Structure 1
Amino acid sequence: MPRILMERSGEMEVFCRVVREGGFSAAARSLDLTPSAVSKLIARLEGRLGARLLLRTTRALTLTDEGEAYHRAAERILRELNEADQEATGGAVRGRLRVSASVPFGGMFLAPLIPTFLERHPDVTVDLSLTDDVVDLLAQRADLAIRMGALPDSGLVARKLGQSRAVVCASPAYLARRGTPAAPAELAAHNCLGFNFRRGRNGWLFREEDRAIELPVSGNLLANNGETVRQMALAGTGIARLGRFHVAADIDAGALVPVLEAFNPGDLEMVHAVHVGGGQVPRRVRAFIDHVAENLPRELFGG
């Protein structure tokens, strides 16, 4: 009978932590071990497998091809072990939950929902990262992401949380200084605030004479997130096109004014929760998605 290797899951946990933290010292701190103990565990793992998993230099740590394959398998196995533990303890929701979301959605709507989620599930640790870049869930080891807009074809599982239309808006001070455009073509004479990351369409969408048109716009500010564009619009720098969910409070307060609403095409920006498919979805992921879906403001994200 082959010898049972009782230490395998521990080696996997240490190896995955080294990859996650980007180094032996950081992994050792998070595991309450010494760097030498972590180094010995990784050396023992590589010796048992007969393969080099990590390439270590004074500046960086990278995975070999064998390390990439082992890391994918180890992450999957550790997830399944955690799920087995949860099933054995009556399906308790526990563990670290890594969530990625856009800056405006995460700051305005997701973060305020986390305290009540943690009150309900005190054994969960939420690890929230806000960025308007599209995150590779596998590469970043994220459990789920909240994404706005159309979803590309992928192996990810998506659940629609809601939708919000876009609105073109500017501050009263900007409109007083530069005038209010009466037709989309007049935007050529205005400073239109944009984004510096790749989007599904480059221009702004309008509807004229019952047909949709995509109008190229330009301005002197590009940003990598919607919150910066919103702040620049509030400061009177230019005209912005943003999701209504993002600027509804500013419009209600009179700090921003919708323009060209007669030409608004009514296009909807979908909000989805996405996670990696295959196998059983961890309970903490399902619980968090359910919590967000139940508590998003319907007036802004009506389905």
Structure 2
Amino acid sequence: MDRFEEMRNFVRVVERKSFTKAASDLLIPRATMTNSIQRLEERLGTRLLERTTRTVNPTRDGDAYYQRCVRILADLEEADGSFTNADPKGLLRVNLQGTLARTFIIPALGDFRGRYPGIDLVLADGDRFVDLVHEGFDCVLRSGDLASSSMIGRRLALLHEATVASPDYIARIGMPETLADLKGQGHQMVCFLSGADDKPIPLDFRVDGKLCEIMLPASISVTGADSYAACAAAGLGIVQVPRYRVADDLKSGKLIEILPDCPPDPMPVSVLYPQNRQLSARVRVFVDWLTELLAGLDFAGSGRA
């Protein structure tokens, strides 16, 4: 095993805080990973990791060595990519927003695989906040405004949104014609909790160029996009969702649009990756492919532009 492999293994153990998870990510036996780190520490003559029964953390020397390894490995991959014509290859771990993944990205993955057959993908999906480094992901795709973080975000698209509720809800509470009606007729929202701190997201409306945010009473709060839309269909309150998600339900009458002349601002879709490292060739081509794919979609409706 050469020094670059030892560095790669060490970096993954630090980021995953686990020998077992790091070995699984890199598709090697745990014993191989353990022996690799032991040889590295013996060669350097210092302890790099503090091991407990629950987690693995870098020592002060280990943290300094980790920072250098990240830069060296990124430079090595960049240098190799500059002087070879070979396509990117290796393992790429991506975390995707579930509905976007199922609706647009996974159906098109055959095209990506055809272009880059040497890249093996590990896909996870969800709506929760993800710690890319410690959970071992190379990049993450999310919709919504980006919270301040140590990640670099690249905006890929804008999702047009609609304010909707079920016919049963409208029959019970009434159809609001103005924002004053919305606040004064006893309406309720389904509260969407976002981010690591489960911050409630208000309903927002664009009126005469001005953004108005409204928090309505909510007896139900959710953290997932699928549950959020399902609550609206069940008559449990008002929600604001990307229009592509409810286009069929609006056509069929399963959902009714509220205040269409005061639409929410479009929701950005972004890809995020750690700022303390250069983009690997694998991540770069995947991000470029996502950009191309999403640019060809009509998010005002539900199909391709």
Aligned to 1:239: 238
- 1:268 correspondence with 2:246: no
Cα distance 1:70–1:225, how it changes in 2: closer, same or farther (>3 A)? Answer: farther
- 1:250 correspondence with 2:249: yes
Separation (CA, whole Å) in 1 of partners of 2:154 and 2:71: 22
Q: Indicate which of 168, 187, 190 corresponds to 1:190.
A: 187
Which amino acid in the other structure matches residue 170 of structure 1?
A: A
In the TM superposition, what whole-angstrom CA distance separates every residue of 1:9-57 from its partner, at most 9, and x where no partner exists? 121133234345543345456544352x433322221233233222222
Which amino acid in the other structure matches residue 7 of structure 1?
A: D
How high is the sequence identity, in percent, across the aligned residues? 32
Cα distance 1:292–1:25, how it changes in 2: closer, same or farther (>3 A)? Answer: closer
Contact between 1:166 and 1:241, CA under 8 Å: does it hold in 2? yes
Separation (CA, whole Å) in 2 of partners of 1:286 and 1:244: 29
Aligned to 1:173: 168
Separation (CA, whole Å) in 2 of partners of 1:154 and 1:26: 24
Separation (CA, whole Å) in 1 of partners of 2:35 and 2:41: 10
Secondary structure of the structure 2 residue equivalent to 1:220:
coil
1:147 is displaced (CA, Å) by 3.2
Aligned to 1:10: 5
Aligned to 1:286: 284
Cα distance 1:133–1:65, how it changes in 2: closer, same or farther (>3 A)? Answer: farther
Separation (CA, whole Å) in 2 of partners of 1:88 and 1:208: 54
1:185 is displaced (CA, Å) by 3.4
Cα distance 1:252–1:69, how it changes in 2: closer, same or farther (>3 A)? Answer: farther
Secondary structure of the structure 2 residue equivalent to 1:261:
coil
Separation (CA, whole Å) in 2 of partners of 1:186 and 1:44: 70
Secondary structure of the structure 1 residue equivalent to 2:121:
strand
Which amino acid in the other structure matches residue 85 of structure 2?
A: G
Separation (CA, whole Å) in 2 of partners of 1:287 and 1:210: 38
Secondary structure of the structure 1 residue equivalent to 2:273:
strand
Alpha-carbon RMSD: 3.2
Separation (CA, whole Å) in 2 of partners of 1:31 and 1:130: 21
Q: Please show how residues 1-303 of structure 1 align to structure 2 within 5 Å.
A: 7-19=2-14, 22-28=17-23, 31-33=27-29, 35=31, 37-151=32-146, 156-188=151-183, 189-198=186-195, 202-208=201-207, 211-264=210-263, 266-277=264-275, 281-296=279-294, 297-300=296-299
Separation (CA, whole Å) in 2 of partners of 1:263 and 1:173: 22
Separation (CA, whole Å) in 2 of partners of 1:203 and 1:31: 43
Secondary structure of the structure 2 residue equivalent to 1:163:
strand
Secondary structure of the structure 2 residue equivalent to 1:262:
coil
1:177 is displaced (CA, Å) by 3.6
Q: What TM-score, normalized by structure 1, do the two folds share?
A: 0.81
Contact between 2:70 and 2:277, CA under 8 Å: does it hold in 1? no
Separation (CA, whole Å) in 1 of partners of 2:23 and 2:146: 38
1:227 is displaced (CA, Å) by 1.9
In the TM superposition, what whole-angstrom CA distance separates every residue of 1:32-85 from its partner, at most 9, and x where no partner exists? 4352x4333222212332332222222332333333333333233333333444
Separation (CA, whole Å) in 1 of partners of 2:23 and 2:268: 41
Separation (CA, whole Å) in 2 of partners of 1:209 and 1:273: 31
Which amino acid in the other structure matches residue 176 of structure 1?
A: A
Separation (CA, whole Å) in 1 of partners of 2:68 and 2:228: 41
Contact between 2:192 and 2:201, CA under 8 Å: does it hold in 1? no
Secondary structure of the structure 2 residue equivalent to 1:113:
helix
Q: What runs of 5+ residues in structure 1 fail to find an aligned partner?
A: 1-5
Secondary structure of the structure 1 residue equivalent to 2:240:
strand
Number of residue equivalences: 296
